[in-house]
Amino acid sequence: MATPLVVSEVFKSFTMHLRDGIKLPVINDVNFSVAGGECVVLGGPSGIGKSSILKMLYGNYAVDAGQILVNHQDRIVDIARADPRTIIDVRRHTMGYVSQFLRTVPRVPAVDVVAEPLFARGVDAAEAREKASDLLAKLNLPRELWSLPPATFSGGEQQRVNIARGFITSHRILLLDEPTASLDAVNRRVVVEMIAAKKSDGVALLGIFHDEEVREAVADRILDVLEFSPRKAAA
Amino acid sequence: MTDLATYNFAYLDEQTKRMIRRAILKAIAIPGYQVPFASREMPMPYGWGTGGVQVTAAILGPDDVLKVIDQGADDTTNAVSIRAFFQKVANVAVTTHTRDATIIQTRHRIPEEKLTEGQVLVYQVPIPEPLRFLEPRETETRKMHALEEYGLMHVKLYEDIARNGHIATTYAYPVKVAGRYVMDPSPTPKFDNPKMHMSEALQLFGAGREKRIYAVPPHTEVVSLDFEDYPFEIQKFEQPCALCGAHDVYLDEVVLDDKGGRMFVCSDTDHCEDRRDHGHAGAMLAPKKEAAE
Amino acid sequence: MTDTPLLKVGGLSKFYGSRIGCKDVSFELWPGEVLAIVGESGSGKTTLLNCLSTRLMPTTGSVEYRMRDGNFRDLYHLSEAERRFLMRTDWGFVHQNPADGLRMTVSAGANVGERLMAVGDRHYGNIRSTASDWLSRVEIGTDRIDDQPRAFSGGMRQRLQIARNLVTGPRLVFMDEPTGGLDVSVQARLLDLVRGLVNDLGLAAIVVTHDLAVARLLSHRMMVMKDGYVIEHGLTDRVLDDPREPYTQLLVSSILQV
């Protein structure tokens, strides 16, 4: 089976047109790959471009040069060049993303927010909600919150909804941007278990974890993003 | 005087009559389609039947026998005036008997007696456009006719049922002619709509102010619009005509005094008289007529 | 992922005399996809929308639509009858001002039912129950079915307009600033509703808006227009989170943060 995710010679900079077009390099010459069943953690100080890498992989940031090759339904898709429709399809079927913050949709209950990726794939609504409920229960989200829209939830509660939403599918690639940042120790452990389960299912995981304990527990390998930093030369 | 009257037979000059006849021929060729025509000023105000008068003037010949009715009656102001007008400008024979007439000009009724081949019924039309009250733009209504977009007509009937529980439109009830054009049958009661269907007589419609002529040729399908679950129905009257005892005719209510006394009589006066002459009598018919004879 | 687009637009331009309305616009739209066209007033987005929806004749270019029989037809080679039939069955058009898209003097029920009657539905009871069903889908109380839209608030009118458009199960809906002129809270409710309907019905939609928040919530893809040209085009979150063009950066940085 092909490697689920291969990143090759990726460059990224921001051109600030509103500030006389100054060019801010973000990362240079990124090369790595993530195998199925492996959890790779991006390491390095904050502001070094870890989140930017995840966003590029997800198609959320454009790429200046290089390739981001994703094994999508038995063909290789280059996210750096794919059209929007292909990226949406990759997101729907192959690559999941758990961000730090939940972008809440007004008036949609938490259980449906979690189940939504399954709805989008055409899974039966009752079955999807049952699966969503299982995950919310596992993450210890109080049952009385399930039918409420998450907009008014606390940071930790929103985070758990977000994690459940990211983990509900059987995506072959999962990008995790500090999913445990605002969780207590009990729920951090739950997330660690969930990541371990994904690994044994053969999912390729790439994440950012500032919590050392979590990082130790899940990482197969730590990739130092400082390696790709344009500031490296200066440092 | 005589020569001039002959030259200007039936008031309109020959060029105008030819123009109107061309419009009529086109209207007959496209049943239900509103043909624009250059409506003339007539010696009467708009709303008094200038459209019908122009159509009648254009088709009238010296041998015709003319009948004019207003709300079914031969003896109301509008009918009397128009009849007198044509007697004066065309010197034609006039009658009140439906079966003797070759041309019948009407406002708001179709005679009860079945019209026959060779007769022409001329309607006076105030507003020819059935879509007008829902779509004020003439450019748009013409396009809707051209493309046969008649959904709006049913919107009107829908509103009727929603508001009243049944189709409450009782006059100017829209019809579809020959399966193609939706037409306003002028403000005749919907009671008369079935008489238009497959009529042996030629039906011509003239709208003077709106400058439109349209027609239903003899033996043409005329179907009243309706819903499957709210089919078209005509008015039913509880009692027969108080004078001639006729059932299944259109009745007018006549107030008799200021104490609530009233009677229902045939709107078609000729039909009523004819029946009485044949010995039919209603509940309120005064018996003294026989004594006088 | 279906492999045939619903709409193919090639080299579409519209000139008003020597002035550019929109210039050389090409894109494809697939079923279930929502495309936002953003830009400030005068940027050509409404001109483009009108050219796409056959409300305005483009100067050059082609707009091909995949009909229900699967064949592509150039919209500007359809007869007027075919075009109008398409517009009231397979398409919807949601105007910024609901009064432009509604019949203000007929009841809400008849407003929704009109398209059904236009395609030959002749059963009052069925038309009424379908209308009632659609009113609840757009969150208008079914007890308001016989009220005229004149008696409705702006938000309700807009929702009624949406129901009126969706009742025939169109495959493509055009929206021109659908939330313009509404209160913020009413906007949120409407957007959420539209979002749900678009997802449930698998509609393709083209939404013109100057409001980037509307674009983010509703659309998959986004085109940024300036002076009649499409200057940036891509995945909505990509355009908003990593804008490339100077004008897009200006637009994104001008969003008020609450």
Asked whether residue A74 is domain-assigned, the answer is no
What is the domain-level CATH number for residue A109?
3.40.50.300
Instruction: Say if CB B289 and CB B248 are below 8 A apart.
Output: no
- Chain B CB within 8 Å of residue C16 CB: no
Q: pLDDT by residue (tens digit) across C213-247?
A: 889 888 999 999 999 999 999 999 999 999 999 99
Query: pTM for the whole thing?
Result: 0.86
Q: Are C192 and A17 inside 8 Å of each other by CB?
A: no
pLDDT band, residue B215 (cuts 50/70/90): very high
Give the count of alpha carbons within 13 A of A165, CB side only. 29
Where do runs of H (alpha helix) occur along chain A?
50-57, 84-93, 110-120, 125-138, 155-167, 185-200, 212-218, 231-234
- Mutant choice from A85, A89, A123 vs C, greatest count of C C-beta within 10 A: A85
A131: domain range? 37-62+95-228
Tell me what pLDDT residue C189 has: 77
Asked whether residue A7 is domain-assigned, the answer is no
Across all residues in chain B, what is the average pLDDT? Answer: 92
| Residue positions of B annotated with a catalytic role | 32, 241, 244, 266, 272
* Average pLDDT of span C143-152: 95
Tell me what pLDDT residue A107 has: 77
Contacts of A88 in chain C (CB under 8 A): 220, 235
- Mutant choice from C195, C222, C237 vs A, greatest count of A C-beta within 10 A: C237
Chain A CA closest to residue C240 = A60
Tell me what pLDDT residue B292 has: 44
- Chain C CB within 8 Å of residue A89 CB: yes
- Chain C CB within 8 Å of residue A23 CB: no
Q: Are B159 and C107 inside 8 Å of each other by CB?
A: yes
- Chain A CB within 8 Å of residue C30 CB: yes
Q: Please give, rounded to a whole number of angstroms, the shortest distance from the CA of B33 to a CA of chain C.
A: 18
Q: pLDDT by residue (tens digit) across A168-184?
A: 999 999 999 998 888 88
Tell me what pLDDT residue B293 has: 43
Residue B97: count other Cβ atoms within 10 Å of its Cβ. Answer: 15
- Chain B CB within 8 Å of residue C115 CB: yes
CATH number of B3-224: 3.40.50.11310
Tell me what pLDDT residue A66 has: 95
Q: Which domains are present in chain C?
A: 7-254 (3.40.50.300)
Q: Which residue has the higher pLDDT, A138 or C257?
A: A138
Percent with pLDDT over 90 in chain B? 82
Residue C4: count other Cβ atoms within 10 Å of its Cβ. Answer: 11
Count of structural domains within chain A: 1
Percent with pLDDT over 70 in chain A? 97
Chains C and B touch (3+ CB pairs under 8 A): yes
Angle (CA) B122-B128-B132 rounded to 5° is: 165
Please say if the pLDDT value at position B33 is more than 90: yes
Under 8 Å CB-to-CB from A181, ≥6 apart: which residues?
A100, A159, A210, A211
- Chain C CB within 8 Å of residue A62 CB: yes
Q: Are A85 and C1 inside 8 Å of each other by CB?
A: yes
Q: Which amino acid appears at position C124 of this protein?
A: Y
Asked whether residue A8 is domain-assigned, the answer is no
Asked whether residue A134 is domain-assigned, the answer is yes
Q: Please give, rounded to a whole number of angstroms, the shortest distance from the CA of C189 to a CA of chain A.
A: 8
Tokens (6 digits) for C229: 């040209």
Q: Which residues of chain C from 181 to 220 reach within 8 Å of chain A, CB to CB? A: 188-189, 192, 195, 199, 217, 220
Contacts of C199 in chain A (CB under 8 A): 119-120
Q: pLDDT by residue (tens digit) across A94-128?
A: 999 998 877 766 778 899 999 989 988 888 999 99
* Average pLDDT of span B23-40: 97
* Average pLDDT of span A46-60: 92
Please say if the pLDDT value at position B115 is more than 90: yes
Please say if the pLDDT value at position B290 is more than 80: no
Any idea how long chain C is?
Answer: 258
Contacts of C238 in chain A (CB under 8 A): 59-62, 84
- Mutant choice from B159, B163, B233 vs C, greatest count of C C-beta within 10 A: B159
Contacts of C30 in chain A (CB under 8 A): 85
Asked whether residue A212 is domain-assigned, the answer is yes
Tell me what pLDDT residue C202 has: 83
Query: Which stretch of A217-231, C23-37, C48-62, C177-191 has the lowest confidence by average pLDDT?
Result: C177-191
pLDDT band, residue C195 (cuts 50/70/90): confident
Strand runs labelled E in B114-259: 120-124, 175-177, 181-183, 202-207, 212-216, 222-224, 251-255
Contacts of C198 in chain A (CB under 8 A): none
* Cα–Cα nearest to B205, from B122, B131, B101: B122
Tell me what pLDDT residue B291 has: 45
Q: pLDDT by residue (tens digit) across B154-170?
A: 999 999 999 999 998 89
Q: How many contacts, defined by CB atoms under 8 Å, are there between A and C?
A: 53
Tell me what pLDDT residue A102 has: 76
